[in-house]
Chain A
Amino acid sequence: MSPVLDIAVQHRLGAFVLNAELRSDGRLTALFGASGSGKTSLVNVIGGLVRPQAGHVRLDGETLVDTARGIFLPKHRRRIGYVFQEARLFPHLSVRQNLLFGQWFSRTSGSNGVELSAVLELLGIGHLLARRPGALSGGEKQRVAIGRALLANPRLLLMDEPLSSLDEARKAEILPYIERLRDESRIPIVYVSHAITEVARLATTVAVMDGGTVKSCGPTSEILSRLDLAGLPGAPEASSLIEAEVAGFDREFGLARLETRAGPLLVSRGDFAPGRKLRIRILASDVLVSTGPLSGISALNQLPGKVAEIRAPAESGASAVDLRIDCGGEILTARLTRKSVAALGLAVGSPVHAVVKSVSVETP
Chain B
Amino acid sequence: MLETAGAWLSPDEWTAVRLSLLVATTAMLASLPFGIAVAFLLARGKFWGRSLLDAAVHLPLILPPVVTGYLLLIWFGRRGPVGQLLYDYFGIVLSFRWTGAALASAVMGFPLMVRAMRLSIEAVDRKLEDAAGTLGANPVWVFAVVTLPLCLPGILAGMILSFAKAMGEFGATITFVSNIPGETQTLPSAIYTFTQVPGGDAGAMRLTLISIAISVAALFASEVMARLVARRIAAS
Interface size on B, residues (CB 8 A): 23
Q: Does B197 lie at the interface of the complex (its beta carbon under 8 Å from any beta carbon of A)?
A: no
Of A18-26, A53-61, A79-87, A307-315, the one with at least 4 CB within 8 A of chain B: A79-87
Interface 0/1 of A71-95, CB less than 8 Å to B: 0001111111110101010111000
- B134 A90 Cβ-Cβ under 8 A: no
Instruction: Tell which of B133, B145, B146, B233 has the most Cβ of chain A within 10 Å.
Output: B133
Of B50-58, B66-74, B123-131, B169-177, the one with at least 4 CB within 8 A of chain A: B123-131
Could you tell me the distance between the alpha carbons of A149 and B136 in the complex, rounded to whole angstroms? 10
B interface secondary structure, majority = helix
Which one of A74, A80, A135 contacts B235 once the chains associate, using CB atoms below 8 Å?
A135
Q: Does A291 lie at the interface of the complex (its beta carbon under 8 Å from any beta carbon of B)?
A: no
User: How many A-B residue contacts, CB cutoff 8 Å?
Assistant: 77
Which residues between 45 and 76 of chain A lie within 8 Å of chain B, taking CB atoms?
47-49, 74-76
Given known contacts A88-B131, A92-B149, is B233 in contact with A76 (CB within 8 Å)?
A: no
Could you tell me the distance between the alpha carbons of A104 and B139 in the complex, rounded to whole angstroms? 14
- A49 B135 Cβ-Cβ under 8 A: no
> Which single residue of chain B is at the shortest CB-CB distance from A81?
B134
Given known contacts A90-B128, A90-B146, A92-B150, is B134 in contact with A75 (CB within 8 Å)?
A: yes
- B131 A91 Cβ-Cβ under 8 A: no
- A48 B149 Cβ-Cβ under 8 A: no
Which one of B130, B135, B233 contacts A102 once the chains associate, using CB atoms below 8 Å?
B135
Contact-residue bracket for chain A: 20 to 34
For B142, the chain A residues whose CB sits under 8 A away are 76
- B150 A76 Cβ-Cβ under 8 A: no
For A152, the chain B residues whose CB sits under 8 A away are 134-136
- A134 B135 Cβ-Cβ under 8 A: no
Q: Does A177 lie at the interface of the complex (its beta carbon under 8 Å from any beta carbon of B)?
A: no
- Chain A residues with a Cβ under 8 A of chain B: 47-49, 74-82, 84, 86, 88, 90-92, 101-102, 104-106, 131-135, 148-149, 152
Query: Which 9 residue pairs of A and B lie closest in terms of their CB atoms, listed nearest first?
Result: A132-B235, A105-B136, A134-B235, A102-B135, A82-B134, A88-B131, A75-B133, A152-B135, A92-B149
